[in-house]
Amino acid sequence: MLSDARRGDDGADPGDGAVLTRYGDRRAQDHKRVAAFTHGLIRLFGYESALLAVTRGVGLLAFDMMPGAKSLLARQTMGLSGRLPRLARGLPLVPPA
């Protein structure tokens, strides 16, 4: 990604069109995933139905009782899951020598 190009690991210039396209594609996938999730929540909570309200309540209660579920959801929606670039992991672009 950009940090690999910055370090020279793949021999690419960080401003090269191909490098920037790969970066843009990766960011676009993350944006689409979060947008789809958000749209699903709007649809789920937008319907008025007694049966659906009970089902939502039971689902939210089950979600609340699952250890680690909230943190996993938070990481997913913040784009902090999967293979992350160095900067997203809090590491410097160039590893110390």
Axis-axis angle for helices 69-77, 17-46 (nearest 10):
130
Here the tokens at position 58 are 């039971």
Q: Are 5 and 16 in contact (CB under 8 A)?
A: yes
Q: Are 3 and 87 in contact (CB under 8 A)?
A: yes
pLDDT at 3: 60
Calpha distance 94→96 (Å, rounded): 6
pLDDT at 7: 55
pLDDT at 1: 58
pLDDT at 87: 73
Tell me the whole-structure pTM to 2 decimals: 0.59
Average pLDDT over residues 46-70: 92
- Residue 19: CB atoms within 10 A of its CB come to 18
